[in-house]
Amino acid sequence: MTIVGLKLRKIRELRDFSQEYVATQLDMSQKAYSKIECGDTKLNKQKLNNILKVLDISESEFLDFDETHAIDNNEDCAVRAMYERLIKQYRERIDKLESDKLYLSNLVDKLSE
Instruction: Tell me which residue range forms the domain holding 113.
Output: 75-113
The pLDDT score that the predictor gives to residue 78 is: 64
Q: Are residues 90 and 62 in the same domain?
A: no
Both 88 and 69 in one domain: the answer is no
Rounded Cα gap, residues 112 and 101, in angstroms: 16
4 and 57 share one domain: yes
Percent of residues, the chain, with pLDDT higher than 70: 86
* pTM for the full predicted model: 0.59
Cα–Cα dist 68/46, whole Å: 27
> Based on the domain organization, do 19 and 55 belong to the same domain?
yes
Determine the pLDDT at residue 72. 45
Our count of domains for the chain comes to: 2
User: The CATH number of the domain where 68 resides is what?
Assistant: 1.10.260.40
CA dist., res. 59 & res. 4, Å (int): 12
Instruction: Tell me if 78 sits within 8 A of 16, measured CB to CB.
Output: yes
Confidence grade of residue 74 (pLDDT, cut at 50, 70, 90)? very low
What pLDDT, in 10s, does the model give residues 19-73?
Answer: 999 999 999 999 999 999 998 998 999 999 999 999 999 998 898 887 665 544 4
* DSSP 8-state symbol, 57: -
